[in-house]
Amino acid sequence: MTGTLLAMPVLRAVDATGAPIAGALLQFYVTGTTTPTPAYTTSALGTPLSNPVVADAGGLFAPIYLDPAVVYRVQLQTAGGSVIRDIDPVNAIFTPGANTITNAMLQAGVAVANLGYTPANKAGDTLTNSLLAFSSLAANSSGYLGLPVNEQDASYTTVLLDAGKMVRATSGSGIAYTIPPVAAVAWPVGTAIGFRNAGAGVVTMTPGAGVTFMKSGATATAATIALAQGAMVTAVMEATNAWVFSGSNMT
């Protein structure tokens, strides 16, 4: 345990006129009592000072270190022991309330229970509650820096984990990719999915129940969209169950 320096590195007792109080005393007690408790010569807390601590002829005290585990009562006294000032508490321990983060907590870069999650605030920290393999999607979800590929070479129904990815086909025969409605998959408005057909077979984009498709630049919806070989398109749900497709080699 490391002690904390009392107030300032230089402590000098002076009277009301600013003149030094020769031989002034600092008496240390346990808070709320007259039970003496030590202060220390260094932050290692190994060697106690005299109690009271005695100032020199110029009213100057030696450096004083306090035990951070102790709440002190401190009296400034004249050389004869008359109390000049009684301060209680000194070095009071602060207990943060719920949802309170202290500077010490942030500086330590540790997991803070009051946050409710582990922050990634320094190199080596592991971020939690912000997973790329999310089970729910929201406007502030962590995104991908690239376009991860989900290879699907047979008929396939998209899932929430496809958001922000590219669903890719290399099939030599025709297959269907279905986008289900919000009732089945909780797509938020703004969900984007890439589709790529690198195979010879046509990929038919099929809307689920209540889902409508529209081509970018068109004014009417279409029941299906077909992706020929070489097609690369992006589908964005611009309104609930309403998807807009843009890209190449689609009919």
Mean pLDDT, residues 81-98 taken together: 79
Residue with tokens 């290879």: 151
Pairwise CA distance, residues 190 & 238, whole Å:
5
- Residue 116: the pLDDT is 53
Pairwise CA distance, residues 76 & 86, whole Å:
6
Choose which CATH entry (2.60.120.640, 3.40.50.1390, 3.40.50.720, 3.40.30.10) describes domain 149-250.
2.60.120.640
Work out whether the CA dihedral 49, 54, 56, 60 comes out positive or negative: positive
Structure tokens at 183: 């009732």
Higher pLDDT, 242 or 221: 242
Residues 137 and 158 sit within 8 Å (Cβ to Cβ): no
Chain centroid to CA 170: how far?
41
Q: How far is CA 115 from CA 98, 104, 140, 142, 218, in A?
A: 9, 14, 18, 18, 48
Question: CATH 2.170.14.10 occupies which residues in the chain?
Answer: 1-93
- Residue 111: the pLDDT is 44
Residues 250 and 213 sit within 8 Å (Cβ to Cβ): no
Choose which CATH entry (3.40.190.150, 3.90.420.10, 2.170.14.10, 1.10.630.10) describes domain 1-93.
2.170.14.10
133: confidence class by pLDDT, cuts 50, 70, 90 = very low
Q: Is the pLDDT of residue 181 over 70?
A: yes
Question: CATH 2.60.120.640 occupies which residues in the chain?
Answer: 149-250
**Percent over 90 (pLDDT), the chain:** 64
Residue with tokens 């408005």: 189
Residue with tokens 């030696």: 62
